[in-house]
Amino acid sequence: MQEKGLLIVLSGPSGVGKGTVRKEIFSQPDTAFEYSISMTTRSPREGEVDGVDYFFKTRDEFEALIEQDKLLEYAEFVGNYYGTPVDYVRETLDQGKDVFLEIEVQGARQVREKFPDGLFIFLVPPSLSELKNRIVTRGTETEDVINNRMTVAKEEIEMMNLYDYVVENDQIERACDRIKAIVIAEHCRRERVEPRYIKMLEVD
């Protein structure tokens, strides 16, 4: 019998660098889990490719998928929808492969309800002021937008208690190493592997 893969959920406050960390992880050749591409109604940023970074959809298309119950999670964030197509996730887990989601905190909460055994990782900035710097550095936002994001970020950090692990994004490479270590460790958790060893004892 094929053991199911592990559902890995990376989330965290807006602006913390989830996307950058995710891209770094999947640029490394030894990464042994599959990336579930999110769907969004927001416009592509420079360099983003449809079907690689996101599946870009119109609001009408997105709402049709909500109606058909084809999304594992979805959230509206700063006026745009973000979501995870459910079929890819279930099929890949059934093949025994680990699936990696990089999603907003509202979505992570929905996934937790459906996959309580998932591995939930919260990415945090070294400090909130550092977070503010990153949002400002992006350079395209008004002060009102920035202040609104800071309030949202504080609320999101307070949501930390829904997660299994907290990873500080002090350096991208270090954050990636920690996330990969967490996945390795999770595969060694006694509750997950004990049944296999009990079987070994019976066979001998």
Q: What is the DSSP string of 116-127?
A: TTSEEEEEE-S-
Q: Is the dihedral of CA 19, 24, 27, 31 positive or negative?
A: negative
Place of tokens 């296999």: 196
The interaxial angle of helices 143-158 and 128-138, nearest 10 deg, is 140
Q: What is the closest distance, in whole angstroms, from the C-beta atom of residue 160 to a copy of itself in the complex?
A: 6
**CB neighbour class for 29 (10 Å; exposed up to 12, middle 13-18, buried from 19):** exposed
Instruction: Pick one of 7, 9, 108, 167: the residue that binds a copy of itself (CB under 8 A).
Output: 167
Nearer to a copy of itself, 58 or 197 (CB): 197
Q: Residue 105 CB, nearest distance to a copy of itself (Å)?
A: 14
Q: How many residues bind a copy of itself (CB under 8 A)?
A: 33
Output DSSP code: residue 1: -
Residue placing its CB nearer to a copy of itself in the complex, 71 or 124: 124
The footprint of a copy of itself (CB under 8 A) covers 121-122, 124, 127-129, 154, 157-158, 160-161, 163-167, 177-178, 180-182, 184-186, 188-190, 193-194, 197, 200-201, 204
